[in-house]
Structure 1
Amino acid sequence: MKKIIIAAMSFTLFGCVSDIKYNYVPETSQISFPELNTVTTTYIGDDMIRQGNIKLVDTISFSSKTDITRTIQSFIIDAGDYPKLGEDKTYLFFDSKSIDGKSIVKSYTNSLPVIGIRVRKDNNKNEVCLSFPTGTDFCNYDKQYKFKKVSITGENQFQQILIYTGKIGNKINIGYREFSNNMARPAFANNAEYDLSSSKIIRYKGAVIEVLEATNQYIKYKMLSNFNTQTK
């Protein structure tokens, strides 16, 4: 008899069968800051030049905490952007963890973990469903959300950066950093010193900069050429 009761409860808590799709591939785009031949002012410790690749990720975004409840179960989707996993003809599927690492909170420690968020493409009744590892899910209506693209640096992304680190006399100091997989590459970090009394044009790894003004607080410059494009 106990087994029958447990089975009935499971059916009550998890009504539909969910099959999450993992067929989404984010766009990859190249960033280049600042624009060529424009006057730019950067302060000590800030990026003078940044070039590399980013991912443009489709997300479902909740502006505030959203409760998803059914019977005795309750889950809270924290405010944040949750990246897309895939889609089929009817539904869009999103991760249960937001881009900034927030996870969906469950009301009971013995509740099943949430593995995804599902919404209808036609946005019927503002339905939001939570999916579970058992292949089941449950849904609530009238929930507020929106879709948006979020730029992130992720796996296999590569960036090159020049940082202004100050001026002593007529000499300015520039730091160079490379980032791969969202982490700095220690072997590819360097600091360079340039004597502006010799030339107002400075070069590093293909980047060419015309220095218009430099103090120990800021630098004003034009980027004449960015880093050479490289495949990583």
Structure 2
Amino acid sequence: MSHLCFKIGVILIFNYSGVLVVRSLYPELIVLPNSKLFYLALIIFCFIKFNFKGYLSVKFFQILIAVFLAYSVIGCTSIPTNARTNVKEFSEPPIGEETAVFIGDNMLYQGKISTANYLHVQKMIDGVAYDIHEGFYKAHGDKDGKFFYSITGSPGAVIQNPFADPAVTLSVNSDKEVCVSTPFVTEAACYEGGTPEEVTRSINSSQDFQQTLIYSGNTGKIINISYREFTGGMARDAFSNNVEYDMSKSNIIRYKGAEIEVLDYDNRSIKFRVIKQFKPTMEYSY
């Protein structure tokens, strides 16, 4: 047993890929963990239990541990974080488009289109150390033209073996395998069969800050409009208001910069055309 401990420890200290060597020497250890910390603990245990009789002196053991720690620090994976997400805001309905809504419906809406690079894993990968579920994984950044992606997808996630090193990023190698990088090793484990595809993807979503007008019906020529503001989906009650407009005087609704031409209305719905939105749309990246 002490002989086995020593062989495993020495191989793993000087060459992390020695996991494969150990597994080939000792097939019974096919579930051998991939974690460096596990092997460091194993070395310490073996030294205390068997005192490495006939193998190492205490001084050489200390040197061995120092080399292991230096290797762990130097070998840390550097993950680029220079990926950019381009955002284009929009407002609906478009200016000049004839639109109809029912009582209680929002008349105006602010959204955004976010465009970024993603890794699309089209089939689930059932790996020894990591399971990679199908989904879209957003890019962290790229280095020399190679992209590295988040381990949390939409949907999708990387689930690791309890004994494996933590997964920090995904990538695709030249063989079109999906690779998992750890804090210590870039592309520590690579798997085929995921049918990976690196794509540019655009996602529509609502803006965090929403302004809207709500049609609340009419009394004769008087129409009732409610103004509401929302932040993160929560209404800002202090900024809510109900206003009335006399259509016999003008069929234009103006409120906080927005302008709407009323085309028709009754106690069920309103038909209108947007002349001006609450605020101009913007484009930016982060």
> One fold, TM greater than 0.5?
yes
Q: Deviations over 1:112-134 (max 9, x none)?
A: 332211124xxx44221112222
Deviation at residue 55 of structure 1 after TM alignment: 3.2
Counterpart of 1:173 in structure 2 is 225
The aligned counterpart of 1:117 is 170
Q: Aligned letter for 1:104?
A: V
Q: How many residues align?
A: 217
Which of residues 151, 172, 176 is equivalent to 2:203?
A: 151
Say which SS state the counterpart of residue 126 (structure 1) adopts.
coil
Q: 2:184 aligns with which of 120, 134, 146?
A: 134
Say if 2:95 is the partner of 1:95.
Answer: no
- Which is bigger in relative contact order (C-alpha 8 A, separation at least 6)? 1
Rounded to whole Å, the distance in 2 between the matches of 1:183 and 1:35 is 22
Query: What SS does the aligned partner of 2:19 have?
Result: helix
CA distance in 2: counterparts of 1:53 and 1:28, whole angstroms: 6
What is the identity, as a one-letter code, of the residue corresponding to 2:217? K
The structure with the largest helix share of the pair is 2
For residue 67 of structure 1, what is the aligned residue in structure 2? 125
Residues 89/225 of structure 1: CA separation in 2 closer, same or farther (3 Å cut): same
Structure 2 gap ranges (5+): 21-33, 36-74
Give CA deviations for 1:119-154 in whole Å, capped at 9, x if unaligned: 24xxx4422111222234211234223313233669
CA distance in 2, matches of 1:4, 1:200: 87
Tell me: CA distance 1:87–1:9, structure 2 relative to 1, closer, same or farther (3 Å): closer
Which of these residues, 56, 76, 88, is aligned with residue 132 of structure 2? 76
- RMSD, aligned α-carbons: 3.4
1:2 to 2, 5, 8: 5
Q: How does the TM-score come out when normalised to structure 1?
A: 0.74
Rounded to whole Å, the distance in 2 between the matches of 1:200 and 1:30 is 28
The residue matched to 1:2 in structure 2 has which SS?
helix
After superposition, give the CA deviation of every residue in 1:182-213 in whole Å (9 maximum; x if it has no partner). Answer: 45472674133333534321112111011223
> Runs of 5+ in structure 1 lacking a partner?
none
**Which whole-Å CA distance do the structure 2 matches of 1:153 and 1:141 have between them?**
33
* Shift in CA distance, 89/197, structure 1 to aligned 2, threshold 3 Å: same
SS at match of 1:58: strand
1:34 to 61, 70, 93: 93
Change (3 A) 1:223 1:230: closer
Once residues 17 and 170 of structure 2 are traced to their aligned partners in structure 1, the CA distance between those partners, rounded to angstroms, is 22
- Per-residue CA deviation, residues 12-60 of structure 1 (Å, 9 max, x unaligned), is 359x985421111211222122211110223455442233655322222
